[in-house]
Structure formats: C-alpha cells, structure tokens
C-alpha cells in the first residue's frame, strides 16, 4: 500500500478516470458485486459528486491547473477498495493525486520552473509506491514527443534514487475507440508496439522489467459484450465538445482498477476491472 | 515463601518516570498533542492504556484547553515564548497501562500494570525555529540548561511539512551540538521523532511503518539523528501519531476539517468532537520511559 501519482498529457482524462472510480460503484451495483469502492475523505466525495455531472451530463472538467497555484492546494483522493476474490476478501487503501497535464508537457523542454520541480519532487518521493502514466493520443509526432518526455522522466527517476523501486504503469486510456478496443487484451503488443513503439522502447530500456507494466483502460467502456460500439457520444457542453455516456444504464468501465492495484500492492490482478 | 508468591502473583503497579521536553516547529501540534493526551477522550477498552490523569494546576489547564478549545472545533493559540525556561509550564501526567514483557525490563509481567509519570515541558515553537539559530544567546543557554534535566526529548514534526526537512535538520543539528556542549556529565538520552497529523491519507497509508515513513519524508533529519546516535549521544526511534485521530472503524477517515495547507504542513480542527479518538500518543512516551517499543500501543 502506498501513495500513487497519476501523470499524463493534458486532456488524457486523468481526473475523469478518478471520478469514474469514485462514482462507478454507486452506479453499478449489479455487475460489481466483487468490487466495492469507498471514498475516504472530503476531496474524494466531492469528486464523486462531480462525477455524475461530468460523465452523464458532459460538464467539462476544468483543467486541474486552473484550480491551484501551489502544490499544497492539490486535492488528495483516498479510496478503500474491497475486492472479493474467490474465497476471501481483500481490502486495499489507495491514496492518489492526479497531476496537471502541464507538468507532464513541461518535461519535454526540461523542467526549469519552480512549480514543476516541486511537483516532480513530490512525485518521486520515497513513500510514493508508483506512478500511473496515462496516455491517449497516437497522432503523428506524439510518439516522438512522449518518448522525449519519458526519457527525461526516467533520468529524473534515477537521479532521485527511485530506479529500483518505483513502479510505472503505462496506461492507454480511452480504449473504447474502435481501433483500440480489440487491442486491450494484450496492450503491450497490440497497442503500444503498434501506436507508440518509440515510447515503449525508451521505457523498456530505462525501467526494470519488474517495475514496468502496460495496461489498457476505458472510462466509458463499450455498449456490451457483443456490441463493441463505444458507450460514448460527443455533446456540446458549456464550453465545446465533451464526451458523455451514451447509455448510462449500460455503463461498464474497463481496466480502471488493475493498474492501481498493481501499483499499490505489486501483485497482478487475475482479471481486468 | 508467602512473600515470594505474593511478589510474583499479585503485581503492584510498577513505576517508571521520565522527564520530557517537547520541541518542534511552530504549528507542529505540540500543545494539541499534550492537551489531547491529558484529555484522553473516548478511551478504547481494548487499549492497553487504562487511564491518563493530569496532576496539578498545569494539568488542569491542559484539560481546559482540550475542552474549551479543541472540543469546540477551535484552534489553539500559539504558545507564547517565555524569557526564562523556568517559567515554561511543567505538565505532570500519570499514565497507567498494561505492561509488556521484554528482556530489557524483565520485571514487567504481562498483565502487570505500569504507572508512567512524566513531567513534560511544552516549549514554544519559537525555540525550535528561531532561538536555536542564535548560538550565543543567553536565553538559548538557559533553555539548553533546562533541557539537561530531561531524559527524553520528543521532537514533534508535522508529517505533511516534508519540504522543511532541511530546516529541521539545521535546527536539530544546533540543538544536539548545543546540548553536548552544555552537558558536562555526558548523560545519554532518548529522542523520539514523532510525526504528527498522521490522520492525513498520505501518511495514514504508512502509519504502521513509522520508521519507513520518517525516513521517506524526512531523509536528512533522520540521517542527522542517526549520526547523533552513532556518536554515542543516545537512542533515536520513530513514531506516528495524531491528536485528532480517525472516524469510523471499517473505513476510517480523518476526523479533521482542514483550514489551510502550505509548506509548513496543515492546520486543522476536529470535525466530530464526539468521536474524538487520538492515536499513537502514548507509544513514544512509553519508549522514552522504558526504552521498549510497546507492541500493543504501536498498533494504534
């Protein structure tokens, strides 16, 4: 158990990811009998309340950076997660902070400003057990830019003496997209090798293989087992187009917990939820 | 013969004493710690601590602070800096708890009660943050002389103020060198580094692993204390505590409302005074008195 940080470029859906985790269990009692999530502080409950308007009504989440000027204003989300395995129950506590996308993007030019440095120090502190890197794009040029950023990040990890024990879960988000959905079953080969090959090879070279895992996740999910259309439509919200659930009652997010579970415990889950 | 049997079967409470000085930065929660300890609210029946009784006027004063300020959801005022260390209030507390057997204290039986009396001075935060920097000041000498009487030092650090690691290291460095210089008899003493406000989620996840947590968040401070220990200054150990504690058993959450967060840590008030149950307050004191970690107390 320990602290987890979520980093990733702007608009990769970091806060929505956490909002879904905080909110989803209340929503979907039937299907997730084996999983129970409990918010453990006010910040998390606030996020769960906001989640409904974000995911169902498409209210846009303001970029995290606009809320605070210093690292101390950042919310800390904390969850208790009860997982029912075959015969036993397991409780884990997750303490997660999501970072503004700017911090990730700034890494490309090397961190010079004070705020970024504070965030990175905090991210690589000894009591952080792992980082979740949430990526979502593979447009022309992004592979190059991600790999430069992660190269920087790996250097910072080594400089902070965390090379041996910091776990990195690299997650491809928004996997309900048609071209990604079939690749979710083996994300390392079918998503990262194909769409972000350079990023993957930089990570493979720089991080011990026991501390690195690739995941696929989808906050919105697809319509059903035999209906792989994304359960998501774009709507015009208060400020531009935003994604909302297409059929709320069929909402089944994919792969939200597995990376966090591994980061926190070091064990892999038998199935992806 | 009868006497021998009586001696071993009908245990009288064993007495242990310690003279303690509580030091730490402004806002690290020194007075809240003491007040919460004296008040000992909502005692848990399974806890090895049987009772905490404040003795004398100063002790009453702590209870008043706990009831009139903390329990009303208000913040304590800063403790004023006294010119002379003699004038700093000396709190006396008597703590009765179930002992635990250990080879260090073989006379303590498993079910035997132990009475711990501590006399404890809660220095103003200014001592730690300002006075220690003025190495030639008479006032500092006066305070250090006062510290010599102590067999134990409780260094309280807000666990959320990890960015001030370097400043703390600097202060503790001045403190231990000052102490060495003033102490002619070279007494050995114990320093308990207590991380306070561990109800906060980022600290709570690791609160059972206090040594790891202290080293992770305050690497330089721990290194300095370790050096002090290796040079023969005394012993160091690490603890986690919260004066306000957690709410609920199954899904415990912090029983605080945060007022502000900044570089120096957080300041907060109690959320639900009726369910006020601090944790970790007695463990460092037991250790300062006996040199043993009490396993039951460490559990929280």
- How would you classify the pairing of strands B90-98 and B113-122? antiparallel
Inter-chain touch A127–B261, beta carbons under 8 Å: no
Across the strands, what pairs with A103? none
pLDDT at A253: 87
Q: Hey, are the CB atoms on A127 and B216 less than 8 Å from each other?
A: yes
- Mean of pLDDT values over A35-43: 86
Q: Which residues of B touch A2 (CB under 8 A)?
A: 205-206
**Does A85 or A176 have the greater pLDDT score?**
A176
Taking all residues of chain A, what is their mean pLDDT, rounded to a whole number? 85
Q: For position B187, what pLDDT does the model report?
A: 74
Report d(CA B192, CA B189) in Å as an integer.
Answer: 10
Asked whether A124 and A116 are in contact (CB, 8 A), the reply is no
Q: Which residues of B lie closer than 8 Å to A, measured between beta carbons?
A: 162-163, 200-202, 204-206, 212-213, 215-217, 219, 251-254, 261-263
CB-CB neighbours of B249 under 10 Å: 6
Q: Touching check for A265 and chain B: CB below 8 Å?
A: no
Mean pLDDT along residues A67-82: 82
Tell whether the model's pLDDT for residue A239 goes beyond 70. no
Cβ of residue A1 closer than 8 Å to a chain B Cβ: yes
pLDDT in the model for residue B46: 82
Contacts of A127 in chain B (CB under 8 A): 202, 206, 212-213, 216-217
- Residue B117 near residue B17, CB atoms below 8 Å: yes
In this predicted structure, the answer to whether residue A242 has a pLDDT above a threshold of 90 is no
Chain B residues in contact with A72 by the CB 8 A cut-off are: 261-263
**B246 near B277, Cβ under 8 Å?**
yes
Nearest to B241 by CA among B163, B189, B299: B299
- Strands B256-262 and B265-270, bridge-based pairing: antiparallel
Q: Which residue has the higher pLDDT, B114 or A109?
A: B114
**Three-class SS string for chain A?**
CEEEEEECCCCCCHHHHHHHHHHHHHHCCCCCCCEEEEECCHHHHHHHHHHHHHHCCCCCCCCHHHHCCCHHHCCCEEEEEEEECCCCEEEEEEEEEECCHHHHHHHHHCCCCHHHHHHHHHHCCCCEEEEEEEECCCCCCHHHHHHHHHHHHHHHHHHCCCCCCCEEEEEECCCCCCCCHHHHHCHHHHHHHHHCHHHHHHHHHHCCHHHEEEEECECCCEEECCEEEECEEEEEECCEEEEEECCHHHCCCECCHHHHHHHHHCCCCCCCC
Note whether B201 contacts A41, CB cutoff 8 Å: yes
Of the candidates A38, A70, A95, the beta carbon closest to that of B201 is on: A95
Q: Chain A: residue nearest B248 by CA? A: A40
The sign one gets for the Cα dihedral A215, A216, A219, A223 is negative
Q: Which of B163, B254, B262 sits opposite A41 (nearest CB)?
A: B254
Q: Measured between alpha carbons, how far is B281 from B300 in angstroms, rounded to an integer? A: 9
Q: What is the pLDDT of residue A67?
A: 58
Cβ contact B168:B224 at 8 Å: no
Q: How close is the nearest chain B Cα to the Cα of A195, in Å?
A: 35
Which has more confidence, B166 or A88?
B166
Please give the pLDDT value at position B188.
81
Suggest the residue from A1, A4, A41 to mutate for an interface test with chain B (most B CBs closer than 10 A): A41
The Cα–Cα gap between B276 and B37 comes to 12
Chain B contact present for A125, CB below 8 A? yes
Contacting residues of A for B213, CB less than 8 Å apart:
127
- Give A263 to chain B, closest Cα distance, Å: 14
Cβ pair A40:B219 closer than 8 A: no
Backbone dihedral angles phi then psi of residue B285, each to the nearest 5 degrees: -70, -40
Q: Quick one: pLDDT at residue A237?
A: 55
The one-digit pLDDT tens for each residue of chain B (300 residues) are: 556 555 554 456 778 888 999 999 999 999 999 999 999 998 777 888 989 999 888 888 899 999 888 888 888 888 888 888 888 889 999 999 887 777 777 766 666 788 888 889 999 999 998 888 887 888 888 898 898 888 899 999 999 999 999 999 999 999 999 888 887 776 788 999 999 999 999 999 999 999 999 999 999 999 999 999 998 889 999 999 999 999 988 889 999 999 988 888 999 999 999 999 999 999 999 999 988 888 888 876
Q: Once rounded to an integer, what is the mean pLDDT over residues A205-215? A: 94
Each residue of A172-182: pLDDT tens digit? 999 999 889 99
Contacts of B202 in chain A (CB under 8 A): 3, 76, 95, 127
For residue A272, which of A207, A193, A181 has the smallest C-alpha distance?
A: A181
Q: Which of A258, A246, A250, A179 is nearest to A216 (CA)?
A: A258
Chain B residues within an 8 Å CB radius of A130: none
Q: What residues contact B100, with CB distance under 8 A and at least 6 apart?
A: B48, B108, B110, B292, B294, B295, B296
Query: Chain A contacts of B216, Cβ < 8 Å?
Result: 125-127
* Per-residue model confidence (pLDDT) at position A141: 86
Most confident of the following: A80-84, A207-211, B4-8, B137-141: A207-211
Task: State whether B212 and A127 contact (CB < 8 Å).
Answer: yes
Out of B217, B253, B263, the one facing A127 most closely (by C-beta) is: B217
B202–A76 C-beta distance less than 8 A: yes
Distance from CA of B248 to the nearest CA of A (A): 10
Q: What is the pTM of this model?
A: 0.88
């Amino acid at each position: 158990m320990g602290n987890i940080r979520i980093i990733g470029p702007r608009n990769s859906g970091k806060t929505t990811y956490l909002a879904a985790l905080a909110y989803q269990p209340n929503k979907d009692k039937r299907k997730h009998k084996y999983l129970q999530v409990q918010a453990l502080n006010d910040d998390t409950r606030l996020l769960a309340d906001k989640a409904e308007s974000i995911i169902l009504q498409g209210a846009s989440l303001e970029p995290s950076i606009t809320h605070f000027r210093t690292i101390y204003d950042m919310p800390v989300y904390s969850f208790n997660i009860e997982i029912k395995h075959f015969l036993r129950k397991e409780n884990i506590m997750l303490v997660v902070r999501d970072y503004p996308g700017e911090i990730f993007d700034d890494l490309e030019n090397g961190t010079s400003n004070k705020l970024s440095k504070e965030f990175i120090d905090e991210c690589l502190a000894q009591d952080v057990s792992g980082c979740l890197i949430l990526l979502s794009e593979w447009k022309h040029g992004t592979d190059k830019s991600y790999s430069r950023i992660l190269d920087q990040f790996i250097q910072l990890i080594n400089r902070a003496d965390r090379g041996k024990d910091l776990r990195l879960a690299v997650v491809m988000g928004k996997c309900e997209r048609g071209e990604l959905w079939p690749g979710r079953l083996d994300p390392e080969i079918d998503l990262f090798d194909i769409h972000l090959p350079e990023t993957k090879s930089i990570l493979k070279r720089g991080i011990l293989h026991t501390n690195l895992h690739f995941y696929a996740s989808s906050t919105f999910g697809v319509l059903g087992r035999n209906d792989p259309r994304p359960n998501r439509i774009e709507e015009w919200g208060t400020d531009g187009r935003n994604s909302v659930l297409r059929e709320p009652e069929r909402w089944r997010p994919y792969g939200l917990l597995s990376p966090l579970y591994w980061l926190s415990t070091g064990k892999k889950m038998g199935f992806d939820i | 013969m009868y006497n021998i049997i009586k001696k071993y079967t009908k245990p009288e409470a064993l007495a242990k004493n310690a003279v303690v000085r509580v030091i730490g930065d402004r806002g690290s929660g020194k007075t809240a710690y003491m007040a919460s300890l004296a008040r000992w609210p909502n005692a848990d029946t399974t806890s090895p601590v049987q009772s905490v009784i404040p003795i004398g006027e100063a002790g009453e004063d702590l209870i008043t602070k706990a009831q009139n300020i903390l329990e009303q959801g208000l913040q304590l005022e800063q403790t004023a800096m006294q010119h002379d260390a003699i004038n700093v209030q000396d709190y006396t507390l008597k703590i009765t708890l179930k002992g635990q057997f250990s080879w260090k204290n073989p006379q303590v039986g498993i079910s035997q009660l132990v009475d711990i009396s501590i006399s404890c001075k809660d220095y103003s935060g200014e001592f730690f943050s300002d006075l220690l920097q003025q190495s030639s000041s008479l006032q500092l000498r006066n305070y250090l002389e006062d510290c010599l009487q102590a067999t134990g030092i409780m260094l309280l650090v807000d666990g959320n103020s990890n960015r001030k690691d370097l400043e703390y290291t600097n202060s503790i460095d001045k403190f231990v060198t000052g102490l060495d210089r003033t102490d002619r008899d070279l007494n050995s003493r114990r320093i308990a580094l207590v991380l306070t406000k561990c109800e906060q989620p980022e600290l709570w996840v690791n609160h059972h692993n206090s040594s790891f947590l202290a080293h992770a968040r305050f690497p330089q401070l721990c290194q300095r204390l370790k050096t002090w220990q290796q040079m023969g200054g005394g012993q160091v150990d690490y603890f986690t505590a919260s004066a306000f504690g957690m709410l609920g058993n199954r899904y415990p959450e912090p029983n605080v409302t945060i007022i502000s967060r900044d570089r120096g840590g957080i300041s907060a008030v109690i959320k639900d005074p009726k369910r006020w149950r601090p944790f970790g307050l007695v463990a460092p004191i037991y250790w300062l008195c006996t040199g043993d970690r009490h396993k039951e107390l460490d559990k929280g």
